[in-house]
């Protein structure tokens, strides 16, 4: 799992992109529940997370990372590598 500080940073990025209150982001936050999480903002979010953590998601991951939970898991595997 990613550390608490990284989790805060991840929530912060999502909050900035999707105009959310970071405290409302949890395991249930996903593209089908967040109004502004469309395909356009999705790309901006992915690139912002990549910038924030210095990682790069694969093409396959791009289309799968449609929830906070999945992002957190994908990030965890990259940050521990």
- Which residues lie near another protein (CB under 8 A)? 12-13, 15-17, 19, 39-40, 42-45, 47-48, 51-52, 59, 62-63
**Identity of the residue, 58 or 80, whose beta carbon is nearer to another protein in the bound complex:** 58
β-strand partners of 30: 67
Look up residue 23 and give its DSSP letter: G
Nearest C-alpha neighbor of 34 from the set 44, 54, 19: 19
Q: Residue 26 CB, nearest distance to another protein (Å)? A: 19
Residue 2 vs 45, nearer CB to another protein: 45
Give the H/E segment covering residue 75. Answer: helix 68-80
């Amino acid at each position: 799992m990613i550390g608490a500080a990284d989790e805060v940073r991840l929530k912060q990025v999502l909050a900035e992109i999707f105009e959310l209150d970071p405290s409302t982001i949890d395991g249930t936050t996903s593209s089908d529940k967040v109004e502004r999480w469309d395909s356009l903002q999705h790309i901006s979010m992915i690139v912002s997370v990549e910038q924030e953590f210095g990682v790069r998601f694969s093409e396959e991951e791009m289309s799968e990372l449609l929830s906070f939970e999945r992002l957190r898991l994908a990030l965890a595997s990259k940050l521990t590598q």
